[in-house]
Amino acid sequence: MIDTMVDVVVVGAGNAALTAALAAARDGARVVVLEKATRELRGGNTRFTGALFRFVYEQGAESLKPLVEHEDYGSCQIEPYTAADYWKDLQRMTAGKAPTELTRVLIDRSYTTMLWLKEVGVTWEFARELGQPVPGRPGVVRLPFGCPIRTPAKGAGLSARLFDAVERAGIEVRYETAALRIEVNDSGEVNAVWTKMREGGIRRVPCKAVVLASGGFQANPEMRAAYLGPLWGTVKVRGTRFDTGDLHREVLSLGAAPRGDWSDCHATPIDLDAPEYGDLTIADKTNRLSYPYGIMVNLDGDRFADEGEDFPLYTYAKMGGEILRQRHRVAFQIFDEKVVHLLEARYSTGTPVEGATAEELGRKIAARYPDLAFKVDRFVATVEAYNRSCQPGAFDPSRYDGNATQGIFPAKTNWAMPLDTPPYVAYGVTGGITFTFGGLSIDTEARVLDRMDAPIPGLFATGEITGGFFYHNYPAGAGLMRGAVFGRLAGASAARYVAAGSLPSPSRTA
């Protein structure tokens, strides 16, 4: 079946895709959005997120007031987040590999993109749940540095507001429609998208430009094993089951250049009993990110990572991978009574093991998980060694307090307090993959580049299908911000390309 001509086809329906669709429509293009999922499951990974955006707010609270008008600013400590801070965080998280040209665009356009999102209907609130109490200031929390706000109702709320905007703009969304192939003509220009509908049938959608925003390949076990390694073949997927990387392969076969770290990803500590794929009824509530306030041990009873290396929003994206490298891909987060009030609210969705002593806690862990062969004696020895290594100091969860262990490996470099106040609790965790880092090469206008660094005419990309932004690790909120900044760019670039008058001609398919 051959469809009628449209200006821009956007593949995907998450934050990056809908931002691109809105930007293209605002610039006069006729846009169609292709969503592989049903209407009920629409929205990609966006609906599973905490909806944090990392952006520059140079003037601190004054910069936030145009975005968030109805919050109590006096109850929050808000530190300015500069472009230099953002640059430093990205370079630190990626070991200096974040590309200068794309990173600068992400940083420089972050604040104006937040204002633009509000203009199209996205609302914001303080991310109080992820803030930390400020010692000596009762009732005051330090909001997360760099990502102090989010959308109400988290990812579900963000997705709903963007779909509302899409509906108001008159943009057509075709559900249960998978993009199969990108058609180009003899001059290499995009001509059409071939699609397959769930009920059967192939449809050719003629178009003048395509924006790819179909996510990473994290929901494809074959690609995970091939690119990330066998460890990742059966990992739990935190988000949508529809991000299967189909268009990664399709567009690479057209000559697009790969970019970034195809052997790494964003992986988060999640509840050991979390479902195999993301469940919209619980969304991001399986996350377990309060590990800096205790210790993590594997099934051999040993610590394996520096729980206090940094604030969790700077380490959580790599900590899932650390857990997956442990026996049976399992770990336990251990806390005592003096810190349980600091655990974020998502821990309430799990059922901890509780004990009056380390030995009792260990025995109860072993009893709850009899097939995992938890080593109780070694766990008790680890707790004792950790307690001896802790040094006197004032615990302050709102800053790097420098309370570090001495004489053990791995060290804990901040927030190291002995486990000495019963009852003790343990939460079982594993690693859950969020999105992959490798993807397509794009330029600062979101044009997809070929292997000679030339733009493929009419082809644009944004979000998790693009590569080169993140390596090794990831600062919270940078992914949604990347999707929105480059989504807006992709949509505007596609509309501009269409307006320039590039028209389809006799074609070939990949």
Give per-residue pLDDT as tens, 232-249.
Answer: 999 999 999 999 999 999
pTM of the model: 0.94
pLDDT bracket for residue 502 (50, 70, 90):
low
pLDDT above 70 covers a percentage of the chain that reads 98
Q: Are residues 414 and 458 in the same domain?
A: no
Pairing of strands 258-259, 439-440: antiparallel
Q: What backbone phi and psi angles, to 5 degrees, belong to 212?
A: -90, 120
Q: Are residues 427 and 452 in the same domain?
A: no
| 155 inside domain | yes
Distance of CA 235 to the CA centre of its chain: 16
Q: Are residues 169 and 75 in the same domain?
A: yes
pLDDT bracket for residue 510 (50, 70, 90):
very low
Pairing of strands 125-126, 149-150: antiparallel
Q: Are residues 279 and 136 in the same domain?
A: no
How high does pLDDT run on average in the chain?
95
Q: What residues contact 18, with CB distance under 8 A and at least 6 apart?
A: 10, 33, 162, 163, 165, 166, 487
- CB-based burial of residue 206 (10 Å sphere; 0-12 exposed, 13-18 middle, 19+ buried)? middle
Please state, in angstroms and rounded to a whole number, the distance separating the CA atoms of residues 195 and 386.
Answer: 57
Least trusted range by pLDDT, from 43-52, 159-168, 396-405, 495-504:
495-504
Task: Check pLDDT > 80 for residue 504.
Answer: no
The pLDDT assigned to 300 comes to 98
The pLDDT assigned to 4 comes to 85
| 22 inside domain | yes
pLDDT bracket for residue 198 (50, 70, 90):
confident
Task: Check pLDDT > 50 for residue 497.
Answer: yes
Q: Are residues 455 and 385 in the same domain?
A: no
* Cα dihedral value 265, 266, 267, 269, nearest 10: 160
Q: Are residues 173 and 316 in the same domain?
A: no
Looking at 437-500, which runs of residues are DSSP E strands?
Answer: 439-440, 447-449, 455-461
Average pLDDT estimate for 218-229:
96
Please state, in angstroms and rounded to a whole number, the distance separating the CA atoms of residues 63 and 57.
Answer: 5
Average pLDDT estimate for 272-283:
93
Task: Check pLDDT > 50 for residue 508.
Answer: no
Residue that terminates a domain, selected from 433, 460, 480: 433
| 1 inside domain | no
| 236 inside domain | yes
Residue that terminates a domain, selected from 397, 413, 433: 433
The domain in which residue 177 lies consists of: 6-263+437-509
Q: Are residues 495 and 367 in the same domain?
A: no
* CA atoms within a 13 Å half-sphere pointing along the CA-CB vector of 320: 32
Q: Is the omega angle on the peptide bond into residue 423 within 30 degrees of 0, that is, cis?
A: yes
Please state, in angstroms and rounded to a whole number, the distance separating the CA atoms of residues 344 and 339.
Answer: 11
| 470 inside domain | yes
Domain of residue 315, CATH code: 3.90.700.10
Task: Check pLDDT > 50 for residue 37.
Answer: yes
- Contact criterion met (CB below 8 Å) for 118 and 9: no
| 304 inside domain | yes
Domain of residue 37, CATH code: 3.50.50.60
Please state, in angstroms and rounded to a whole number, the distance separating the CA atoms of residues 500 and 349.
Answer: 53
Residue that terminates a domain, selected from 433, 448, 471: 433
Partners of 206 in the β-ladder: 192
pLDDT bracket for residue 99 (50, 70, 90):
confident
Q: Are residues 319 and 190 in the same domain?
A: no
Question: Quick one: tokens of 376?
Answer: 């109780």
Please state, in angstroms and rounded to a whole number, the distance separating the CA atoms of residues 171 and 192.
Answer: 18
| 189 inside domain | yes
Please state, in angstroms and rounded to a whole number, the distance separating the CA atoms of residues 477 and 215.
Answer: 16
Q: Are residues 316 and 174 in the same domain?
A: no
How many folded domains does the chain comprise? 2
Q: Are residues 301 and 405 in the same domain?
A: yes
pLDDT bracket for residue 79 (50, 70, 90):
very high
Question: Quick one: tokens of 43?
Answer: 């929205």
| 309 inside domain | yes
Q: Are residues 270 and 259 in the same domain?
A: no
Q: Are residues 281 and 253 in the same domain?
A: no
